[in-house]
Structure formats: C-alpha cells, structure tokens
Structure 1
Amino acid sequence: MRSPNMRFKSFVTLTGALLARRPLTRLLAAAKDCRRGAVVVAAAQFLGALRARFAMVLVASLPAVVATPTYALSQESVGSFLATAMPLATLGTELYRGDREGAWQYALTFTTASVSTEVLKHVIHSERPDGSDNQSFPSGHATRAFSAAAYVRERHGLEAAAPLYVTALYVGYTRVNADRHRWADIAGAVLVAEVAAAWLVERAPAAQVTISPEFDRRFVGARFFARW
C-alpha cells in the first residue's frame, strides 16, 4: 500500500509531465502573450487619450499668454499687457480650435483697425492730456483690446464676448487714468474696432467659446475656454 507521501510525489510528477507536453505549453504561452498584448494596447490607448485631454485642458485654460504679476507692475503696465495679450490669445485660440477662417478674419480685423487708428492719429493731431505728443485720438491700446472683443462678438456672439468687453474697458480706463488719453479717445477706438469687425467678420456656424477675465491681487489675465 502506497503511503500519502508517495501519492503526493506521483501527483506532482504527473502534473509536471502534463505541463511539459508541447501543445499545452504553446497554449499557455499564447494566452500569456495575448494578455500581455492586451495590456500594452490598453495602456497605449489610455496614455494617448490622457495626452489629448491634457493638451486640451492646458491650452484651453491657459490665461491670456501668461499671468502677469500685478505687484511688480503699475496699472498702466497691466493695461499695456492686456492690450497685447488679448489679440494674441484670441488669434491663438482660433488657431488651436482649427478655425482658420476665423483666425484669418481676426487678423484682417486687427490689422484694419490698427492701421485705421494710426491714420486717424496722424490726421486729427489730437494732443494727449499729458502733453507728450499730438497722437491721442483714437487710443491704440484700446483699439487692440476692443478688436478682440468685437471679433468674438461678431464670430461667436455677445455672451462669449461680454467678458472681453469688460477687460477692454479696463484697458481704456488704465489709459485714461495714466493721463495718456481721454474717454473720447477710447470711444473712438471702440468705433474703429466695431466697424472693422462688422465689415470683415462672419458668424461661425457652430462654435462655443468662453472668454473670461482673471483678476487677483497677484495676477491679471483672461481665461479662454473652447469646446467643439
């Protein structure tokens, strides 16, 4: 009569012999490779989706070009920054969304408004409040800022453009507060930007863009969010 220990050894030997057969070994190896391949494919798909989502969130939620520390800047410097950041961020947002037609229309709007402003400055010869020169009307800074707001209103609607108008109005305030312009100069800039946008911009077929100003004690900027 065999002892339990002998039975156990026989069972181990029989199991080893079965596993050593080539068909079964190939089957187990194939199953292992399938599982490994599935894990690799799933991981690659997950990383690809993660990278795409991260890129979208990063670009869509970036403040307008950079966040500018206000504690190191005067109010006039903040206004100058926004006057440059708003057009760049508007153009960059349209390019990122793939709206090349809109980007081209804004480029034309910005160029037309800026050139018209410079022509009016040299024709009207309005003296600045601080007496530095005679190119006060209309305000170039306000023209650049309001060109972004006017474009977004024509292209995407007033709701999307409302925060930009608030930011552009703040730019105008900084110019008046710095004694570089009068409110009439700001109004002239608004008129130039609105006429250029109404002439050159067409309504987007189906676009959802949200642009909101960001103000804090330590930074100021504008947040752009695009969804399509």
Structure 2
Amino acid sequence: MTKRAFIPALSCAIFLTAATTPLAHAGEKTWNDAGSITRDALVIAAFGVRLAQSDWDGTLQAGGSLVAAAGVTAGLKQAFPERRPDGSDNKGFPSGHTSVSFAAAATLQNRYGWKVGLPAQALAAFVGLSRVEARKHHVHDVLVGAAIGEASGFLITRRASDRVQVFPWADAGGGGVAMTMRF
C-alpha cells in the first residue's frame, strides 16, 4: 500500500467512524464505543501501513512508540490514582486510550508526513474528546495522555527514507538482511 493509497483508506475510516456513530444525541456508551473503535483503527493503521509496505524498521518503531506510551500511562495510573468522572475506578489519570491514539498518530505523521499525519491526529483528538464525553476522563487526563502519545511517537519514530531500503530474506539454507542504498 502506497502513501497515495493510504490517504483515501484513512479518509474512508474517518467517514465510516463519523457516519456510523450518531454522536449528536449520543450517550456515554456510544461515545465510549466510538472512541475505542477509533483508537483501534489508529493502532491498526500504525502497523498496517508499515506491514503492507514491508517496512520492518517502521513496524518496530510503531511498536516501540505504542508500548512506551502504554507503559508510561500505566505507571502514572499507579503513581497518581485519580477517580474517574463516572466513579468506576481510580485509574483516570492519564487517559490510556488517548495516549495510545496519539502515539499511533504521531508515529504515522513522523514516518510518512503531514498528509497521513493530519487525518490521524484528527482521529486521535476525537478519541480524546470521546473519553471526556463518555465521562471516563477529565480534560487534564486527556491532555496529559495526548502529550505522552505525541512524545513517544515523535521520539521513537524516524522519517521513512526511500533512499535506504532493508529487505529481510530467507530460504531453505538460511536467511539474512539485504540493504540497498541510492546516492
């Protein structure tokens, strides 16, 4: 899948998310479900684009970004317990949905540029909004989650370069990695 093919696919994901979620009169469960679906779509996109392009280095970077965001978020939830607005538990700070969504969006933007990153960032912002509307988080939980995700995505992910390509290979006699470079 090329970047040109990915942009329409991401646009379709945005349209389907908006069209299938009647948010004008949505309740907390609808907002919660819409945010979870959008978060999952962003994570799938962060890995799917790289896998479709056999971008193994980018796949590892996406994984590192998402694991770092989730890990920092989990640590902060333990260190600073905060009651959720709906009263369900004391794991409100920071928003894990938001941190993972922004990590996926930032890694897409940092790896492939603003044409891919801008729609992904908009979807991540929607996830943050959905967490507040679902009464799972306060605004500050979402803002800190967004900062964690952005930081992990931009610190761990590098820009894709078509000048250097790495190809893993294997056959019955062994395997290895081939690299090509354009000057």
TM over 0.5: yes
Whichever of the two has the greater Rg, that structure is: 1
Is the counterpart of residue 160 in structure 1 residue 116 in structure 2? yes
The TM-score normalised by the length of structure 2 is 0.72
Aligned mate of 1:101, from 42, 49, 57: 57
Q: CA offset at residue 75 of structure 1?
A: 2.5
Identity of aligned residues (%): 32
Moved more, 194-203 or 182-191: 194-203
Structure 1 residue 57 displacement after superposition: 6.6
Instruction: Tell whether 2:135 aligns with 1:170.
Output: no
Q: d(CA) in 1 for partners of 2:88 and 2:133?
A: 15
- Runs of 4+, deviation exceeding 6 Å: none
Whether 1:92 and 2:81 are equivalent positions in the alignment is no
**Structure 1 residues 181-217: Cα deviation after superposition (integer angstroms, max 9, x where no partner):** 111111111111122123211111149xxxxxxxxxx
Match in the other structure for 1:189: 145
**Letter of the 2:36 counterpart:** S
The gaps in structure 1 that reach 5 residues or longer are 1-55, 208-228
Which residue type is aligned with residue 137 of structure 1?
F
Paired residues, number: 150
1:140 aligns with 2:96: yes
| 8 Å Cα contact 1:84/1:144 also seen in 2 | no
Could you tell me whether the CA contact under 8 Å between 1:125 and 1:137 is conserved in 2? yes
Contact 2:105 2:153 in 1 (8 A): no
2:90 is paired with a residue whose SS is: coil
Task: Give the structure-1-normalised TM-score.
Answer: 0.59
The reply to whether residue 127 of structure 1 matches residue 83 of structure 2 is yes
CA contact (8 A) 2:111 2:158 kept: yes
Change (3 A) 1:154 1:179: same
User: Does the 8 Å CA contact 1:139/1:186 hold for their aligned counterparts?
Assistant: yes
Q: Which of 56, 62, 70 does residue 21 from structure 2 map onto?
A: 70
SS, match of residue 74 in structure 1: helix
